[in-house]
Amino acid sequence: AFQRDLNVVLSRGVWQMFQIAKKEYDKTLEAHAALDFSEVLERAVRLLQQMDEFARSRYRLESRYHHVLVDEFQDTSRAQWNLVSLLVKSWGEGFGLVDNAPLRPSVFIVGDRKQSIYGFRDAEVTVLQDAREYIAALRPEEPARQSIARSARATPALLRFVNDVFENVERADRDDAFTYTEADRFPTPPPGDGSEDVDPPLGLVAADAIEACANGVALEIERLVATGDVRDRETGLVRNVRHADIAILFRSRESHREFEKALQDCGIPTYVYKGLGFFDADEVKDVVALLRYLANPESHLRAAAFLRSRFIRVSDPALRLLTADLAGALGDPEPPAALETLDAEDQRVLMLARDGVQRWRALADRLPPAELLDLVLAETAYAFELRGSRLVQARENLKKIRAIVRRVQNRGYSTLARLADYLDRMSAGDEANAIIDAADAVNLMTVHAAKGLEFPIVFVVNLSRGAGGIRPPIRVLTDDGAGEPSVSVGEFESAADEDLKARDREESKRLLYVALTRARDRLYLSSVIKDGVWRPGGGGLGEVLPSALGALLVQASSSTANASLVWTQKSGAQQVLRRCPSPATLADVPHKGRADRLRVPLGNTPVAVDRFAPLEDIESAQWSSVTAVVAGQAGLPPAQAAARDQALSADAARTLKGRLVHRLLQHCGEHDARDQTVEALAHALVRRDERLGVEDVAGTVAEAIRVFKIIRGHEEFSTCRLDDCLFEVPFSFKGSGNTIVLRGTVDCLARATDGSLTVFEFKTGRPSPDHRAQLDVYVAAIRALFPEAAVEGRLIYS
């Protein structure tokens, strides 16, 4: 009773403080003539409710909008639904301007209560049921509900697994409880009908440490990329696994670093998605350390961060020896007394840094921050640090932080001190990594970020990690379950607190459902198992996972476990799960996957990716296609060569056949050689606009397939593994002593196991002398791109 009475007193104090803060907040908004999102929604609802004062505007809205569609309705708040319901209220009452329209008005909401995962944004899963009843009452004579039960996304094995998991999830007796009834189950064919793969599409990765789990995930990804198959989303045909086919999902965003590091150690490219890790990236931390130091060079803490950044790279022992005056070690006119105690490399690095710092500090008040940052990046050759498997992501992140600095600078007068404070505030948020367009990289993201997405292969990791965190000292609930608000302060725990835990548990079930249904072909579960016991943390996905799966994860963490584990249901049905090895270190593990084979030279950009020489003036350069130059060398006048090329391109059937042959070589892997598969793929690869002007599309496709098989079976090309080939490789090339820039496209560039490269040029017509000259130009261009590789050329005729 004492604790309850004390909570009442403290709640009154909190209420008074809130009133003061709210008053000041409202005054600030009014001074800036602004509204926050909640207030915009509240005022809109209030205006719609005031029929007399708002009638004219309401009728204008009705006359303009006759149909309402609300997608992802399960994530709608009560206030948002109130707004929608007020807009359509008159439609069921038979009055209003829209009721006389030729087409009756309609409201259409799309949602799945099993995927309501935004409770922290005021979404209420019960709103979906309320809306359903409301809409059904608008026109009782018409059916109001349509449901979709069949999934076209996942394989039958994964759908059966999802059914089994949520049939075994503990049920709660609440209005907002997660339910999985017979109507929710995915219809699937019975197991053993030939639709199963020999390699189980389900897997477990478990170990006693998060680092070992991350290593296990990385090794399994390496295996899948080297030997695995998935269904192509566009064609539905089987093809090899790519890095971009894979996603690693987390419950919360604090635990991705170990997995990112393990993937990098295996040479696997990664992309950390939406709200994960921008200010945790090394290149961004380096830039922030530089700007914070230049804003306050007298700070020892900021000097230490700058000394340890990759701009300087002072070693840890040297940093300890300089601890007495870190700021002075960089900024004092005289070198520090401890300089002689450093090793030779640290001495050299520190003296170079001191020289640079003197210039940069002198320019700090004269140059805009963005220009000063660019100057430091250039003088320190920082681009050298952006290498390895994160090269593309690191460069995009560096572009993004530079853009942020420039954007802040362009808003008005901005000192380095203000900029550093702004970056400090930003780093406390959830800024996302720079987006990489069409990157072939493994995606790391939270389950919330994955909502609405799908991937052929999904790893749901850190299942045992809790997500509760430290309980807020003041907890305010607008609804305690009985329609009344509740406030709890400090250690006092009210019935509403217990109800909140139950709500969060039900939302965790829905979050698990979203995570498992992101996969199309393969699904893996991963968790840390401490001391051989399944002990999931509160608020995590593992807390709501069926205990039988927890027991299987314990088995998988044992080094003596079988390569496959079996989960048997009450009905007798069985799920086979692959146990993935999880070594504590990757030092002694051989890496022989496709990722390793393609890493150099085809997996990266050419060596000279960052050049600091002045750009060449290309305005005065002459540009020409390889075919035009080769024709000129063969004595064909330019006008005649252009007329020949135009005549060839005008032949739609011939053009389509040539394109199809190249596309089949690019898309049809070793596992897709069946006639029916090749024919289906060929027709799928024909674009709609390409069918125009072709009288016999089927005949053209058949001829393209015939040519494809001849080329694919050629003795010089049949030994090439298609996964080690790049097709349609464009280039611009200026040979030594040549003033003309040649442009062309290599049909196929293949890499052998010894690192040598072969340029294949495919010809569907009769042999011609200029074909060899054309191939020689292509070989010269590839030699310029890859100077350290042996390059040869081959002509393949059909």
Model confidence pLDDT, tens digit, residues 130-161: 998 888 888 888 888 888 878 878 999 999 99
Does 595 have pLDDT greater than 50? no
Do residues 211 and 86 both lie within one domain? no
Is 192 part of a structural domain of the chain? no
Number of independent structural domains in the chain: 5
Q: Cα–Cα distance between 529 and 532 in angstroms, integer?
A: 6
Does 607 have pLDDT greater than 70? no
Kindly report which listed range (470-479, 541-550, 733-742) carries the lowest average pLDDT score: 733-742
Q: Is 518 helix (H, G, I), strand (E, B) or coil?
A: coil
| Residue 558 domain boundaries | 202-272+440-579
Name the pLDDT band for 469 (thresholds 50, 70, 90): low
Do residues 624 and 668 both lie within one domain? no
Give the rounded percent of residues in the chain with a pLDDT score beyond 90. 28
Largest CA distance in the chain: 104
Numbers of helices and strands, H then E, in the chain: 26, 19
Q: In angstroms, what CA-CA distances link 738 with 388, 619, 730?
A: 34, 16, 19
What mean pLDDT do residues 778-798 have?
Answer: 89
Name the pLDDT band for 226 (thresholds 50, 70, 90): confident
Name the pLDDT band for 264 (thresholds 50, 70, 90): confident
Residues 6+ apart with CB under 8 A from 434: 278, 393, 396, 397, 399, 400
Do residues 619 and 753 both lie within one domain? yes
pLDDT tens column, 4-26: 888 888 888 888 998 999 999 99
Rg for the chain, CA atoms, rounded: 32
Does 162 have pLDDT greater than 90? yes
Query: For residue 748, what is the enclosing H or E element?
Result: strand 740-751
Higher-pLDDT residue of 83, 482: 83
pLDDT tens column, 373-424: 999 999 999 988 887 767 777 888 899 899 999 988 887 767 888 888 888 8
Closest among 569, 544, 541, 571 to 161, alpha carbons compared: 569
Structure tokens at 50: 């005031």
| Main-chain phi, psi angles of 583, to 5 degrees | -70, 150
CA angle 370, 294, 394 (to 5 degrees): 55
Q: Chain centroid to CA 493: how far?
A: 39
Do residues 231 and 293 both lie within one domain? no
Do residues 568 and 458 both lie within one domain? yes
Q: Report which residue type is found at 608.
A: A
Is 395 part of a structural domain of the chain? yes
What mean pLDDT do residues 575-601 have?
Answer: 64
* Mean of pLDDT over the chain: 82
Whole-number pLDDT of residue 729: 86
What mean pLDDT do residues 727-740 have?
Answer: 74
Query: For residue 64, what is the enclosing H or E element?
Result: helix 51-64
Most confident of 480-494, 496-510, 623-637: 496-510
Higher-pLDDT residue of 89, 346: 346
Residue where one domain finishes, among candidates 531, 558, 579: 579
Structure tokens at 126: 């019960």
Give the rounded percent of residues in the chain with a pLDDT score beyond 70. 82
Q: How many residues does the chain have?
A: 798
Residue where one domain finishes, among candidates 712, 737, 762: 712
Instruction: Please classify residue 164 by burial: count the beta carbons closer than 10 Å to its beta carbon, then call 0-12 exposed, 13-18 middle and 19+ buried.
Output: buried
Place of tokens 């990664």: 270
Q: Cα–Cα distance between 255 and 274 in angstroms, integer?
A: 14
Is 682 part of a structural domain of the chain? yes
Q: Cα–Cα distance between 531 and 544 in angstroms, integer?
A: 21
Q: Which stretches of 332-429 are DSSP H helices?
A: 344-363, 369-379, 391-410, 416-427
Cα-based torsion angle of the residue sequence 365, 369, 370, 375 in order, rounded to the nearest 10 degrees: 50
| Main-chain phi, psi angles of 81, to 5 degrees | -70, -35
Whole-number pLDDT of residue 348: 92
Is 188 part of a structural domain of the chain? no
Exposure string over 167-198, b if 16+ CB within 10 A, otherwise e: bbbeeeeeebebebeeebbbebeeeeeeeeee
What mean pLDDT do residues 199-218 have?
Answer: 92
| Main-chain phi, psi angles of 229, to 5 degrees | -130, 150
Crossing angle of helices 495-516/156-167, nearest 10°?
160
Q: What is the DSSP letter of 253?
A: T
Residue where one domain finishes, among candidates 106, 138, 170: 138
Structure tokens at 683: 């027709």
Name the pLDDT band for 601 (thresholds 50, 70, 90): very low
State the pairing for strand pair 574-579/202-207. Answer: parallel
C-beta separation of 172 from 544 below 8 A = no
Crossing angle of helices 210-227/257-265, nearest 10°?
50
pLDDT tens column, 691-728: 777 888 889 999 988 888 888 888 888 877 766 788 88
What mean pLDDT do residues 292-314 have?
Answer: 92
**Edge-to-edge strands of the sheet including 564-568?**
270-272, 442-446, 246-250, 455-460, 519-528, 202-207, 574-579, 564-568
Higher-pLDDT residue of 735, 719: 719
Measured from the Cβ of residue 681, the count of other Cβ atoms closer than 10 Å reads 21
Most confident of 243-252, 421-430, 614-623, 737-746: 243-252
Higher-pLDDT residue of 517, 504: 517
* CATH number, position 765: 3.90.320.10
Q: Cα–Cα distance between 420 and 293 in angstroms, integer?
A: 9
C-beta separation of 693 from 649 below 8 A = no
What mean pLDDT do residues 357-382 have?
Answer: 91
Q: Cα–Cα distance between 587 and 414 in angstroms, integer?
A: 48
C-beta separation of 317 from 340 below 8 A = no
Do residues 775 and 640 both lie within one domain? yes
Q: Cα–Cα distance between 203 and 582 in angstroms, integer?
A: 12
Whole-number pLDDT of residue 145: 84
Give yes or no for a cis peptide into 614 (omega within 30° of 0): no
Name the pLDDT band for 592 (thresholds 50, 70, 90): very low
State the pairing for strand pair 622-625/740-751. Answer: parallel
CA angle 660, 665, 670 (to 5 degrees): 135
pLDDT tens column, 118-132: 887 788 888 988 998
Is 224 part of a structural domain of the chain? yes
Do residues 664 and 696 both lie within one domain? yes
Q: Cα–Cα distance between 512 and 713 in angstroms, integer?
A: 48
* CATH number, position 97: 3.40.50.300
Q: Cα–Cα distance between 516 and 458 in angstroms, integer?
A: 8
Q: Report which residue type is found at 784.
A: A
Do residues 466 and 566 both lie within one domain? yes
Is 176 part of a structural domain of the chain? no
C-beta separation of 514 from 449 below 8 A = no
Do residues 450 and 575 both lie within one domain? yes
Do residues 454 and 552 both lie within one domain? yes
Q: Cα–Cα distance between 649 and 659 in angstroms, integer?
A: 11
Q: Cα–Cα distance between 66 and 55 in angstroms, integer?
A: 17
| Main-chain phi, psi angles of 748, to 5 degrees | -155, 135
Is 194 part of a structural domain of the chain? no
Do residues 627 and 750 both lie within one domain? yes
Closest among 455, 461, 444 to 230, alpha carbons compared: 455
Q: Chain centroid to CA 723: how far?
A: 23
C-beta separation of 34 from 27 below 8 A = no
Is 14 part of a structural domain of the chain? no
Strand partners, 577: 565
C-beta separation of 218 from 581 below 8 A = no
Strand partners, 730: 745
Higher-pLDDT residue of 28, 633: 28
Name the pLDDT band for 198 (thresholds 50, 70, 90): low
Separation of first and last alpha carbons in the chain: 91
Do residues 680 and 639 both lie within one domain? no
The pTM assigned to this predicted structure is 0.64
Q: In angstroms, what CA-CA distances link 79 with 37, 39, 149, 499?
A: 12, 11, 29, 21
Does 195 have pLDDT greater than 50? no
Most confident of 60-74, 317-331, 707-721: 317-331
Q: Chain centroid to CA 31: how far?
A: 40
